[in-house]
Amino acid sequence: MLLTFPSTGELVLRRPTRALTQAERLSAEIQELIASMFETMHTAPGVGLAAPQIGMPLQLAVIEDRASYMEKLSAAHLAGRRRAPVAPHVIINPTLMIAGSEEAEFFEGCLSLPGYTAVVRRGLKVQVDCLNERAEPVTIQAEGWYARILQHEIDHLRGTLYIDRMHTRSFMTRETYERLWKDVPVADVLKAIGDV
């Protein structure tokens, strides 16, 4: 079942979420919600979807970065972002730790702010401790684009949107990004718009 997205400004996108209880984690309702979240994310399309984005204040997100999303991207683009396919998985009640001090700046978009993008600085490597869809504890070590996806989705669980972290002068429509900036190094974009 496809789910709807609350509009930016609705409180569910701006408040911290609550942890799923032990009883909820394996419940039929949560398992159905997970399936609907994957379907909604794929239809959008997106690479991650957190429960607040569909109006549920729960510490739950689904993630998948499909190889088909990368087919039209250059090898240099993929290498620069350290982007590779990520298998579908679920994170429940996650905790995030930035690993090391390396950071990277790239354009990000969000299903909660359709049609827009901006440059966001994120940690290059992370560790996430969480439960999977079977309520089993897992530790995820991620870097590059996958680390960015995890940080973005876990931000949603804390009531934070990428616009709270963006270089404000880099905020633009997706159409403008595609037309003018998609092949320009981020450092050059920031210099050109006067945000360095």
* Residues labelled catalytic: 153
Residues 6+ apart with CB under 8 A from 156: 13, 50, 51, 52, 53, 61, 112
Written as six digits, the tokens of 88 are 């579908």
Which stretch of DSSP H or E encloses residue 86? Answer: strand 86-98
Measure the CA–CA gap between 192 and 68, rounded to whole angstroms: 32
Q: Which two tokens stand for residue 159?
A: 């009531």
* Buried b or exposed e, range 43-66, using 16+ CB within 10 angstroms: eeebbbbbbbbbebbbbbbbbbbe
**76: Cβ contacts below 8 Å, ≥ 6 apart:** none
DSSP letters along 167-193, please? Answer: -GGG-EEHHHIIIIITTS-HHHHHHHT
